[in-house]
C-alpha cells in the first residue's frame, strides 16, 4: 500500500510540475513542453488614400438632372484643383440614373422625377494632401453640391500597402519575445529550455492606432500593425 501511495504522489508531482503558470505546458509520456506567445507591434503611416466623392443631382426631367450633374462635376473639379490635387488622380466611376416615374409604387407626389447618382474616385499617394482636402469638404456643400453616402463611407480610406516589407522583421521580433518568455518560464520552473517543438506565426492585423469608440482603421492615416507568434519549446 505504501508503494502504491508513493507512486501516486510521484505521478501527481510530475503532473503539477508540467502545469505551472497559465496552463502553458503540455504533458505526454516523457514529454514536457511550454507554450508561449510573442507579440510585435509597429506604428505605420498609410501610403495610399482612396476618396470616393459621391453626389446626387435631381430634376423634373432628364435634361434638368443632367445639367445639375454637370454643374456638380465642375464644382468638384474646381474644388480639387484648389486643393492642389492633380486631374490624373481623379476618375469618374459609376453613374446611376433613376426615373421615379418608372416605379409603379412611387406615387405621383415625388418632388423630383429623375435622380442621378455619380461617384468620382480620388486616388493618391499624397495622404496628407487628401486628408487636408477632406477636412475642407464643406466648401463643396456651400457651392451647391449634394453629397451622398448611400454606397459606402463618404470620407477617404487610408491604406498601408507596405506590409510585406515589414513582415520578416516583425516575425523575428515576435519570435524573440516568445523565446524570452519561454526562458523566463523555464527559470521559474527550475527547468532548462530545450529545442523548438512547434511554431505558429499568427495573423498580421492592421488596427486603428487610436482605439476609441467609433474610430475605424480605414479612416485613420496612422495605424498599428500587430502580429502574435505562438511557439512551443521542450523543457529538459
Identify the CATH number of the domain in which residue 122 sits.
Answer: 3.30.70.2970
The answer to whether residue 13 is domain-embedded is no
Say if residue 86 is in the same domain as residue 172.
no
Residue labelled with grid coordinates 455619380:
118
* Tens-binned pLDDT, residue by residue, of the chain (236 aa): 433 333 333 333 333 333 333 444 444 435 799 999 999 999 999 999 999 999 999 999 999 999 999 999 999 999 999 999 999 999 999 899 998 876 655 555 556 689 999 999 999 999 999 999 999 999 999 999 999 877 666 789 999 999 999 999 999 999 999 999 999 999 999 999 999 999 998 899 999 988 777 778 999 999 999 999 999 999 99
Say if residue 202 is in the same domain as residue 219.
yes
The answer to whether residue 212 is domain-embedded is yes
Say if residue 217 is in the same domain as residue 229.
yes
The answer to whether residue 1 is domain-embedded is no
* Per-residue pLDDT, 106: 56
Say if residue 153 is in the same domain as residue 83.
yes
Say if residue 52 is in the same domain as residue 149.
yes
Residue labelled with grid coordinates 445639375:
68
Say if residue 127 is in the same domain as residue 228.
no
Say if residue 184 is in the same domain as residue 149.
no
* Per-residue pLDDT, 211: 78
Say if residue 147 is in the same domain as residue 75.
yes
* Per-residue pLDDT, 3: 36
Say if residue 37 is in the same domain as residue 115.
no
The answer to whether residue 3 is domain-embedded is no
- Angle subtended at Cα 11 by Cα 8 and Cα 13, rounded to the nearest 5 degrees: 110
Say if residue 57 is in the same domain as residue 144.
yes
The answer to whether residue 9 is domain-embedded is no
Domain boundary among 159, 177, 211: 159
* Per-residue pLDDT, 18: 35
Domain boundary among 115, 138, 159: 159
CATH of the domain at 211: 3.30.110.170
* Per-residue pLDDT, 145: 95
Residue 24's domain comprises 20-45+162-235
Please give the backbone phi and psi of residue 86, each rounded to the nearest 5 degrees, phi first: -70, 150
pTM: 0.77
* Per-residue pLDDT, 88: 94
Amino acid at each position: 500500500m505504501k508503494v502504491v501511495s508513493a507512486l501516486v504522489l510521484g505521478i501527481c508531482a510530475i503532473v503539477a510540475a508540467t502545469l505551472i503558470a497559465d496552463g502553458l505546458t503540455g504533458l505526454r509520456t516523457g514529454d514536457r513542453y511550454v507554450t508561449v506567445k510573442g507579440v510585435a507591434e509597429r506604428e505605420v503611416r498609410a501610403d495610399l488614400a482612396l476618396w470616393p466623392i459621391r453626389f446626387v443631382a435631381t430634376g423634373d426631367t432628364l435634361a434638368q438632372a443632367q445639367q445639375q450633374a454637370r454643374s456638380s462635376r465642375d464644382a468638384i473639379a474646381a474644388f480639387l484643383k484648389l486643393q492642389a490635387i492633380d486631374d490624373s488622380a481623379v476618375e469618374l466611376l459609376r453613374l446611376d440614373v433613376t426615373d421615379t416615374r418608372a416605379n409603379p409604387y412611387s406615387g405621383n407626389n415625388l418632388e423630383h422625377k429623375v435622380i442621378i447618382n455619380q461617384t468620382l474616385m480620388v486616388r493618391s499617394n499624397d495622404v496628407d494632401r487628401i486628408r487636408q482636402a477632406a477636412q475642407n469638404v464643406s466648401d463643396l456643400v456651400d457651392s451647391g453640391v449634394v453629397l451622398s453616402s448611400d454606397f459606402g463611407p463618404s470620407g477617404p480610406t487610408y491604406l498601408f500597402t507596405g506590409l510585406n516589407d515589414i513582415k520578416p522583421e516583425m516575425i523575428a521580433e515576435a519570435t524573440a519575445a516568445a523565446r524570452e518568455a519561454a526562458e523566463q518560464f523555464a527559470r521559474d520552473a527550475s527547468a532548462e529550455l530545450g529545442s523548438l517543438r512547434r511554431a505558429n506565426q499568427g495573423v498580421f492585423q492592421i488596427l486603428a492606432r487610436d482605439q476609441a469608440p467609433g474610430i475605424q482603421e480605414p479612416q485613420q492615416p496612422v495605424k498599428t500593425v500587430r502580429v502574435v507568434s505562438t511557439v512551443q519549446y521542450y523543457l529538459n
